[in-house]
């Protein structure tokens, strides 16, 4: 059965192998075993039930919470050639009748429904007349009141086991604590479900957190880094959405608003504009996004603190669903804590207590100084094995620790005590920074011994440190006006028995995330842009979102491999038989024209995408006129000169020069990687390639613990190709 699923993955979706836990999740369905599957966004969660549905006899029913999410998935499945349908209130009578006809004639493999429709008496009668293969419950955290998005209608699904006692149920979610998982199993009456819990880490997301001081300036800085790319900006309140959107539009950014206060038609129009890439950025409250499967969101900005880490993980997780790098920036203020506290005031006592606990953990995340990936994982009961995630502001060196954190903390806490614990953070920061504001003089607080103790720093920096001390529980905010009080833990600092952790932004240039470097490895950016234009034209013609035609990951792989034949095109990750048939001719024409115009070799690094470690023999490459820099590099490589020396001679980056070497090796059919890769390193690469079996450089790089760089792996691959 596993081989059947593997064949379906390759045929329909263009994937040669499974992502972590996908195989086990699919096997649960094949064995008729109930399961709860928790995989991060971008971890291939939907495929866990879509691929088995193609191979299993009968109809798979998928429960989904939102019409937009159902439409997105059914449209995507249709593009892959998978027979799927949906029944929801947005369809006309004739459209619904057509779906029922397909169900009756056994033409569908997947049927998407809302939970309340599935358990309605009339629809149950329809399902009793067909052979059901299994039921998949997507966004299963909605079942649990402990989940971050509890939906009462999901509780009705507990009746499925009574109605269909022999049916297999799979529950799938990207966000669920241990408590939520247990509640899902109990509410759905699952029978000894297999728990498959993937890592909650989204390694491709680059997390950055800053205190909010100039919202429009901070937001624009992120937008400027992502010109021409899709992104989401979240605000806590509707009025913030409207004001920020107006400001950004006034600065000529491509934006539209989205919140629950807008008319339904306006919301839908703006959502469609964003999905179809007619606008780059949508500014929204958290009402937006759950039903959106847009894979190529390259940035998510929070202009206020979310109310829990579950919400933050889900909202920020709407970026980088294609597995490529994406930036997640959070701009918070201490006032956000008060805003959420006010909004939660009418909750039931038990629910309010849970919500406040989660809010405090979120605030600690914002003000803490540990690796952001590690902090999120710890919240969900996991840990990051490596010490440096290379994908957050802390690990990238954008924040530095304050050397004299104990003395600085003591000055702040002493000032709070000298102010008789009667003032808020902003006022306390003014006193410590030595402000001459009228109210400070009138209160004679310029005469305090703690006045101007931190005058070497700006008021904003001092205020940020105060917030960090709040987040570490050395200070607590009291009452309606958030008056600062020193906690028992804070008194330990004053006595010198405990040292806080204080951070501040650095002025030096920051490191570039390795996530970004790796995802563009070997990709010709000019060709990528040419393929993006082609994708947009196809999407407009077919009236479907561009990311459904091809994801960014597929386009980058095309611009990396530069295939010249349909066979080579099928090796691209994300290209299945139907997409090759539909779009192959147009894509290959664009690649060929671009390569001829820019003197680029085609069929670069052609190797199999299957589990087999055997490499395919490259087809003879087209001899094209190489650029002057390439020709000089080729001449030098013929003399076995190092990449570094050649790079200096042709005035190119070492990464570009390494690409020249790979092309030179392919052109001259070189099988010996020496001297560019030494014998021991080459042996380790070959051994690693045999172990991972999937022919992917990333898999080999990871297996070798990053000890051997990508250039050496690519060079070795090129030589092995010539040996095949």
Give the model confidence (pLDDT) of 433-463 as tens digits. Answer: 999 999 999 999 999 999 999 999 999 889 8
The answer to whether the beta carbons of residues 389 and 374 sit under 8 Å apart is: yes
Tokens read off for 365? 């995340």
The values of phi and psi at residue 367, to 5°, are -95, -10
Q: What's 225's domain CATH number? A: 3.40.50.300
The answer to whether the beta carbons of residues 558 and 589 sit under 8 Å apart is: no
Q: What's 436's domain CATH number? A: 1.10.10.10
Q: Is residue 512 part of a domain?
A: no
Q: What's 692's domain CATH number? A: 1.10.10
The answer to whether the beta carbons of residues 55 and 4 sit under 8 Å apart is: yes
Tokens read off for 682? 């080459």
440 and 558 both lie in a single domain: no
User: Of 255 and 16, which is predicted with more confidence?
Assistant: 255
Residue 486: per-residue pLDDT:
96
Q: Is residue 14 part of a domain?
A: yes
Question: What are the tens digits of pLDDT across the range 380-414?
Answer: 888 887 878 889 998 888 888 888 999 999 999 99
Residue 448: per-residue pLDDT:
95
Q: How far is the C-alpha of 354 from the C-alpha of 8, rounded, in Å?
A: 44
Q: How far is the C-alpha of 444 from the C-alpha of 438, rounded, in Å?
A: 10
Q: Is residue 606 part of a domain?
A: no
Q: Is residue 465 part of a domain?
A: yes
391 and 448 both lie in a single domain: no
User: Measuring CA to CA, how many Å separate 65 from each of 112, 117, 151, 279, 693?
Assistant: 10, 11, 9, 26, 38
User: Of 587 and 504, which is predicted with more confidence?
Assistant: 587
Count the alpha carbons within 13 Å of 711 in the hemisphere toward its beta carbon.
Answer: 16
Bridge partners for 392 per DSSP: 207
| pLDDT of residue 2 exceeding 90 | no
182 and 217 both lie in a single domain: no
Question: What are the tens digits of pLDDT across the range 212-266?
Answer: 989 999 999 999 999 989 999 999 999 999 999 999 999 999 999 999 899 989 9
| pLDDT of residue 291 exceeding 60 | no
Q: Is residue 515 part of a domain?
A: no
**What average pLDDT does range 61-67 have in this prediction?**
89
**What average pLDDT does range 119-124 have in this prediction?**
84
Q: Is residue 228 part of a domain?
A: yes
Domain containing 634 equals 611-724
386 and 356 both lie in a single domain: yes
**Pairing outcome for strands 503-505 and 399-401:** antiparallel
111 and 178 both lie in a single domain: yes
Residue 123: per-residue pLDDT:
86
- Count of structural domains within the chain: 5
**pTM here?**
0.69
Q: How far is the C-alpha of 139 from the C-alpha of 293, rounded, in Å?
A: 13
Q: How far is the C-alpha of 555 from the C-alpha of 558, rounded, in Å?
A: 5
| pLDDT of residue 621 exceeding 50 | no
Tokens 């607590």 correspond to what residue? 476
The per-residue DSSP string of 42-91 comes to TS-TTHHHHHHHHHSSSEEEEE-S-HHHHHHHHHHHHHHT--EEE--TTS
585 and 646 both lie in a single domain: no
The answer to whether the beta carbons of residues 326 and 204 sit under 8 Å apart is: yes
Q: How far is the C-alpha of 130 from the C-alpha of 107, rounded, in Å?
A: 11
| pLDDT of residue 622 exceeding 70 | no
The answer to whether the beta carbons of residues 171 and 165 sit under 8 Å apart is: no
| pLDDT of residue 613 exceeding 60 | no
| pLDDT of residue 619 exceeding 60 | no
Average pLDDT over the chain, rounded to whole? Answer: 87
127 and 267 both lie in a single domain: no
Question: What are the tens digits of pLDDT across the range 303-327?
Answer: 999 999 988 988 998 899 888 999 9
The answer to whether the beta carbons of residues 21 and 198 sit under 8 Å apart is: yes
489 and 445 both lie in a single domain: yes
Q: Is residue 568 part of a domain?
A: yes
146 and 7 both lie in a single domain: yes
Q: How far is the C-alpha of 388 from the C-alpha of 622, rounded, in Å?
A: 43
Q: What's 590's domain CATH number? A: 1.10.150.80
**What average pLDDT does range 58-86 have in this prediction?**
90
374 and 416 both lie in a single domain: no
Q: Is the alpha carbon torsion for 13, 17, 19, 21 positive or negative?
A: positive
State the pLDDT confidence band at 623, using cuts at 50, 70 and 90.
very low
Q: How far is the C-alpha of 654 from the C-alpha of 160, rounded, in Å?
A: 60
Q: How far is the C-alpha of 693 from the C-alpha of 612, rounded, in Å?
A: 6
Q: Is residue 631 part of a domain?
A: yes
Q: How far is the C-alpha of 590 from the C-alpha of 587, rounded, in Å?
A: 5
| pLDDT of residue 418 exceeding 80 | yes
- What is the 3 state secondary structure string of 300-323? EEECCCCCCHHHHHHHHCCCCCCC
Q: Final residue of a domain: which of 569, 598, 627?
A: 598
Q: Final residue of a domain: which of 151, 172, 197?
A: 197
- What is the 3 state secondary structure string of 131-169? CEEEEEECCHHHHCCCCCCCCHHHHHHHHHHHHCCCCCE
| pLDDT of residue 373 exceeding 90 | yes
Radius of gyration in angstroms for the set of CA atoms belonging to the chain, rounded to a whole number = 28
The answer to whether the beta carbons of residues 187 and 143 sit under 8 Å apart is: yes
Q: Which residues contact 438 (CB under 8 A, 6 or more apart)?
A: none
| pLDDT of residue 200 exceeding 90 | no
Q: How far is the C-alpha of 112 from the C-alpha of 125, rounded, in Å?
A: 17
496 and 434 both lie in a single domain: yes
380 and 420 both lie in a single domain: no
């Amino acid at each position: 059965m596993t081989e059947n699923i593997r064949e379906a993955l390759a045929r329909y979706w263009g994937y040669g192998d499974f992502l972590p836990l996908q195989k086990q999740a699919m096997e649960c369905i094949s064995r008729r075993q109930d399961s709860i599957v928790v995989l991060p966004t971008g971890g291939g969660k939907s495929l866990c039930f879509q691929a088995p549905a193609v191979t299993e006899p009968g109809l798979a029913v998928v429960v989904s919470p939102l019409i937009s999410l159902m439409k997105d998935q059914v449209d995507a499945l249709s593009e892959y050639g998978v027979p799927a349908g949906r029944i929801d209130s947005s369809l006309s009578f004739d459209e619904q009748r057509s779906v029922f006809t397909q169900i009756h004639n056994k033409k569908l493999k997947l049927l998407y429904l809302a939970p309340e429709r599935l358990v309605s008496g009339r629809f149950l009668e329809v399902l009793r007349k067909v052979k059901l293969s299994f039921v998949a419950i997507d966004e299963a955290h909605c079942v649990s009141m402990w989940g971050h998005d509890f939906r009462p209608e999901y509780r009705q699904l507990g009746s499925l086991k009574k109605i269909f006692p022999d049916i297999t149920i799979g529950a799938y979610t990207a966000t669920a604590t241990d408590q939520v998982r247990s509640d899902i199993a109990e509410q759905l009456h699952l029978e000894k479900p297999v728990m498959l819990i993937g890592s909650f880490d989204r390694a491709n997301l680059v997390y950055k957190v800053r205190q909010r001081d100039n919202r429009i300036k901070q937001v624009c800085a992120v937008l400027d880094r992502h010109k021409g790319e899709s992104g989401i900006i979240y605000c806590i309140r509707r009025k913030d959405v409207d004001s920020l959107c107006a400001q950004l539009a006034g600065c000529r950014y491509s934006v539209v608003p989205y919140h629950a206060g807008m008319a339904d038609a306006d919301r839908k129009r703006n959502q469609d504009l964003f999905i179809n890439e007619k606008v780059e950025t949508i500014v929204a409250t958290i009402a937006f996004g759950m039903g959106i499967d847009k894979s190529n969101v390259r940035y998510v900005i929070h202009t206020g603190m979310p109310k829990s880490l579950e919400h933050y993980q889900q909202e920020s997780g709407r970026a980088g669903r294609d597995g490529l790098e994406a930036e997640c920036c959070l701009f918070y203020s201490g006032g956000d804590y008060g805003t959420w506290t006010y909004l939660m005031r009418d909750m039931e006592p038990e629910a309010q207590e849970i919500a406040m606990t989660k809010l405090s953990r979120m605030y600690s995340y914002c003000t803490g100084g540990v690796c952001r990936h590690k902090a999120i994982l710890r919240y969900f009961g996991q840990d990051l094995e490596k010490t440096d995630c290379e994908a957050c502001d802390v690990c990238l060196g954008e924040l530095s620790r304050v050397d004299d954190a104990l003395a600085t903390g003591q000055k702040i806490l002493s000032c709070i005590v000298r102010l008789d614990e009667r003032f808020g953070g902003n006022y306390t920061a003014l006193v410590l920074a030595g402000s001459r504001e009228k109210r400070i003089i009138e209160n004679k607080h310029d005469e305090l011994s703690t006045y101007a103790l931190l005058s070497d720093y700006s008021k904003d920096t001092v205020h940020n440190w105060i917030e960090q001390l709040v987040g570490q529980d050395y200070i607590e905010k009291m009452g309606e006006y958030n008056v600062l009080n020193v906690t028992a833990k804070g008194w330990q600092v004053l006595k010198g028995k405990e040292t806080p952790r204080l951070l501040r932004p650095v002025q030096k240039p920051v490191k570039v995330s390795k996530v970004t470097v790796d995802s563009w490895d070997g990709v010709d950016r000019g060709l990528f842009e040419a393929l993006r234009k082609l994708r947009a034209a196809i999407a407009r013609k077919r009236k479907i979102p561009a990311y459904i035609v091809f994801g960014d990951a597929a386009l980058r792989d095309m611009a990396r491999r530069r295939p010249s034949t349909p066979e080579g095109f099928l090796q691209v990750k994300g290209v299945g038989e139907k997409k090759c048939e539909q779009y192959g001719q147009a894509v290959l024409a664009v690649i060929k024209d671009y390569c001829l115009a820019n003197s680029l070799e085609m069929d670069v690094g052609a190797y199999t995408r299957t589990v087999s470690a055997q490499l395919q023999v490259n087809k003879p490459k087209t001899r094209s006129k190489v650029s002057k820099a390439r020709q000089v590099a080729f001449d030098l490589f013929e003399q076995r000169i190092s990449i570094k020396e050649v790079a200096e001679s042709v005035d190119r980056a070492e990464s570009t020069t390494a690409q020249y070497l790979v092309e030179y090796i392919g052109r001259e059919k070189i099988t010996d990687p020496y001297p560019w890769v030494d014998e021991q390193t080459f042996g380790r690469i070959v051994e690693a390639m045999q172990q991972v079996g999937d022919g992917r450089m990333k898999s080999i790089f990871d297996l070798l613990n990053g000890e051997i760089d990508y250039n050496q792996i690519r060079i070795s691959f090129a030589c092995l190709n010539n040996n095949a």
